[in-house]
């Protein structure tokens, strides 16, 4: 197998796909993830594609067990997402999605921070175009806010990299730890992409506005590439334990109130990444294995849920809880796949979420983190409540919406079927996943205590949902906008802009009044008469020091001014002439 960075294949496909005819373009897009997957599997461990740039050692790819796992799942979900999106002929979205996936692989295998940063920013730009490709009228504003947030996060990351280079002389992607200014800047830059609260609102703002296929790509790469980088650079950071626990806790309440199905899935995505952050913060081999395996499983079942929602959106044109219901009769296959995804994210035994999430919860128990353990257990019940029950219930059951759509197209059904098969396969037979994790796995998920304990939590969540619905206490599904931390940059920065705009306009108005009143006419005339006047500023002191008499000085000045008196020099030319004289004076 040719040893090339896996990202290269996606970038090449992104360039050539738009110029290919329809059928050939689809073949190329489908083949690209499979080729990259073969490369990820075959490339040996260690550094590859090393070179020196301005005395800085750069490594385009460094392979080990940690990033190979992410390489596998990024290629797998890319194939499923491309297969699902064959119905969408939007060339810009297809090319952007290829760049997006390739950039995520570039981040995953980058051996130095500068290479990582290039792919990090490319990933932000490409994902912005994925959002922009949506026909949703909200997408342009959401994409604008999205790219601003991510470019801001990228600036924090770049500043941290530069400071780290100054402090250590190295840009290797390795353990950093929260030890100083550079590490904090890098941490914040990663935290933005990981959607760690309060830096999370961009995700819920942007993902629901993407197209029915674009959201599948978006759900896979940005947050999970951040999970990888965080696992590489900040394992064992205690702050991540609490940030992750809070991250699992807070989105539950927003998801209960959310009316948009993909909005609910966006909040549950943040909830699930919280489990991963908590595992990375605990930092033990069991916890890191749990975080990595949960990222692997999450990409599959979250992609499956977004595909199910995308298929419904494609067939009905609707995605609100208030607009859907009763679709199980007309889209039964999509309904079954959605239930599989819901069971997986809820960590039902024999589904993928169970064999990964339980490792993180067990690691918290082994570390005697009682409060964190309780928060994770509550979050497990909460995610079943909103993603495990609410999404399939309101989309396929509930009231009869009167919609009579056809089942999803064949390619969507195959993509969802493959995703569902993997979710069940990993849940029933977790050992192949355990075999590729960063550390040797000495963990058995299917013990009596694990299974019974998890079933009790799930039944509690189901009972709570049923009682709240029957009693009428459950929040009604209504058309509404829920305020989140994005309010601060939606409204706060708008107010700051208006304040700055009015302030600058006031200054400009004052300047205009000064000019209108003629206070600067003499100064304006002085500059427009040309460089002669400027020359006098420099020459008269020189003549005086040289001992030239005052009469001679006046004669020389008169002759020089006469030469420039009728010149047509503008203020700009005079300013340039002045700058040249100042430069010569400094040099001499």
Average pLDDT estimate for 147-165: 93
- The reported pLDDT for the residue numbered 430 is 95
Q: DSSP H helical segments within 17-138, as ranges?
A: 22-42, 65-84, 91-109, 113-132
546: helix, strand or coil = coil
Q: Smallest Cα–Cα separation from 73: which of 36, 126, 112?
A: 36
Average pLDDT estimate for 175-198: 92
Average pLDDT estimate for 12-24: 90
Q: How many CB atoms lie within 10 A of CB 533?
A: 16
d(CA 189, CA 256): 29
- Stated pTM of the model: 0.82
d(CA 500, CA 492): 12
- The reported pLDDT for the residue numbered 52 is 77
pLDDT in tens, 60-76: 888 999 999 999 999 99
pLDDT in tens, 454-475: 888 888 878 877 777 777 666 6
Cα 363 to Cα 90, 148, 453: the distances in Å are: 45, 37, 15
Give the rounded percent of residues in the chain with a pLDDT score beyond 90.
Answer: 56
Residue ranges of the domains in the chain? 1-234, 238-485, 489-587
d(CA 580, CA 576): 6
d(CA 387, CA 382): 8
d(CA 313, CA 308): 9
Both tokens assigned to 43: 């490339």
Mean pLDDT is lowest, of 60-74, 121-135, 400-414, 547-561, for: 547-561
Cα 46 to Cα 50, 65, 148, 286: the distances in Å are: 11, 10, 35, 24
Q: Could you tell me which residue, 539 or 265, shows the higher pLDDT?
A: 265
Average pLDDT estimate for 551-562: 73
d(CA 284, CA 363): 7
* pLDDT above 90 (res 412): yes
Average pLDDT estimate for 8-24: 91
Q: How many CB atoms lie within 10 A of CB 333?
A: 16
Which band of pLDDT confidence, cut at 50, 70 and 90, is reported for residue 530?
A: low
Q: Smallest Cα–Cα separation from 76: which of 112, 43, 30?
A: 30
Average pLDDT estimate for 140-166: 92
Cα 571 to Cα 327, 515, 528, 568: the distances in Å are: 73, 15, 5, 10
Q: Which residues, other chains included, contact 585 with Cβ-Cβ below 8 Å and sequence gap of 6+?
A: 538
pLDDT in tens, 243-265: 999 999 888 888 888 889 999 99
Both tokens assigned to 535: 């020359």
- The reported pLDDT for the residue numbered 322 is 84
d(CA 272, CA 544): 79
Computed from CA positions of residues 467, 324, 295, 132, in that sequence, does the dihedral angle turn out positive or negative?
negative
- The reported pLDDT for the residue numbered 422 is 96
Q: Could you tell me which residue, 390 or 523, shows the higher pLDDT?
A: 390
pLDDT in tens, 472-512: 666 665 666 666 776 666 666 666 666 666 666 666 666 66
Q: Could you tell me which residue, 509 or 225, shows the higher pLDDT?
A: 225
Q: Could you tell me which residue, 14 or 583, shows the higher pLDDT?
A: 14
Q: Which residues, other chains included, contact 246 with Cβ-Cβ below 8 Å and sequence gap of 6+?
A: 197, 274, 375
Mean pLDDT is lowest, of 7-11, 286-290, 556-560, for: 556-560
Averaged pLDDT of the chain: 85
* pLDDT above 90 (res 218): yes
d(CA 356, CA 460): 21
Mean pLDDT is lowest, of 8-12, 172-176, 383-387, 401-405, for: 383-387
d(CA 89, CA 498): 41
Mean pLDDT is lowest, of 161-175, 222-236, 277-291, for: 161-175
Mean pLDDT is lowest, of 51-60, 90-99, 240-249, for: 51-60
Which band of pLDDT confidence, cut at 50, 70 and 90, is reported for residue 384?
A: confident
- The reported pLDDT for the residue numbered 471 is 74
């Amino acid at each position: 197998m040719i040893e090339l960075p896996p990202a290269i294949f996606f970038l090449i496909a992104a360039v050539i796909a738009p110029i290919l005819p329809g059928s050939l373009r689809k073949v190329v897009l489908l083949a690209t993830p499979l080729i990259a997957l073969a490369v990820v599997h075959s490339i040996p461990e260690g550094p590859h594609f090393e070179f020196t740039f301005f005395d800085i050692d750069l490594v385009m790819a460094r392979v080990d067990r940690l990033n190979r796992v992410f390489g596998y799942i990024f290629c797998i979900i890319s194939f499923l997402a491309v297969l699902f999106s064959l119905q969408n002929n939007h060339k810009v979205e297809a090319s952007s999605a290829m760049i997006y996936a390739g950039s995520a692989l570039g981040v995953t295998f980058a051996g130095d921070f500068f290479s990582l940063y290039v792919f990090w920013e490319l990933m932000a730009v490409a994902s912005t175009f994925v959002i922009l490709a949506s026909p949703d009228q909200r997408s342009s504003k959401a994409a604008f806010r999205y790219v601003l947030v991510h470019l801001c996060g990228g600036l924090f990351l770049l500043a941290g990299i530069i400071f780290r280079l100054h402090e250590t002389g190295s840009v290797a992607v390795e353990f950093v730890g929260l030890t100083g200014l550079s590490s904090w800047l890098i941490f914040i830059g990663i935290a933005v992409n990981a959607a760690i609260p309060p830096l999370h609102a961009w995700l819920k703002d942007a993902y629901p506005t993407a197209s029915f296929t674009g959201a599948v790509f978006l759900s896979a790469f940005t947050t999970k590439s951040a999970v990888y980088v965080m696992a590489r650079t900040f394992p064992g950071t205690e702050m991540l334990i609490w940030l992750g626990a809070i991250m699992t806790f807070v989105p539950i309440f927003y998801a209960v109130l959310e009316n948009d199905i993909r909005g609910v899935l966006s909040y549950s995505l943040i909830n699930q990444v919280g489990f991963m952050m908590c595992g990375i913060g605990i930092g033990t081999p069991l916890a890191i294995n749990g975080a990595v395996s949960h990222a692997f499983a999450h990409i599959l079942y979250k992609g499956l849920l977004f595909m199910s929602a995308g298929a419904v959106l494609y067939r009905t044109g609707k995605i609100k809880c208030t607009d859907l219901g009763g679709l199980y009769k007309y889209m039964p296959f999509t309904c079954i796949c959605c239930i599989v995804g819901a069971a997986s994210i809820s960590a039902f035994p024999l589904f993928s979420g169970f064999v990964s999430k339980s490792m993180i919860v067990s690691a918290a128990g082994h570390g005697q983190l009682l409060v964190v353990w309780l928060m994770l257990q509550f979050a497990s019940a909460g995610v079943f409540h909103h993603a495990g029950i609410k999404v399939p219930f309101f989309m396929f059951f509930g009231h009869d919406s009167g919609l009579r759509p056809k089942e999803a197209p064949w390619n969507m059904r195959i993509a969802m079927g493959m995703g569902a098969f993997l979710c069940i396969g990993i849940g029933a037979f977790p050992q192949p996943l355990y075999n590729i994790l960063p550390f040797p796995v000495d963990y058995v998920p299917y013990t009596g205590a694990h299974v019974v304990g998890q079933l009790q939590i799930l039944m509690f969540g189901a009972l709570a949902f049923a009682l709240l619905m029957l009693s009428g206490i459950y929040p009604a599904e209504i058309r509404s906008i829920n305020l989140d931390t994005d309010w601060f940059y939606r409204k706060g920065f708008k107010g700051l802009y208006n304040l700055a705009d009015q302030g600058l306009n006031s200054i400009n108005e004052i300047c205009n009044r000064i000019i209108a009143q003629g206070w600067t006419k003499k100064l304006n005339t002085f500059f427009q008469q040309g460089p002669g006047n400027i020359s006098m500023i420099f020459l008269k002191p020189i003549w005086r020091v040289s001992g030239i008499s005052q009469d001679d000085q006046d004669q020389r000045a008169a002759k020089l001014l006469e030469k420039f008196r009728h010149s047509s020099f503008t203020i700009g030319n005079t300013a340039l002439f002045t700058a040249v004289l100042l430069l010569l004076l400094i040099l001499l």
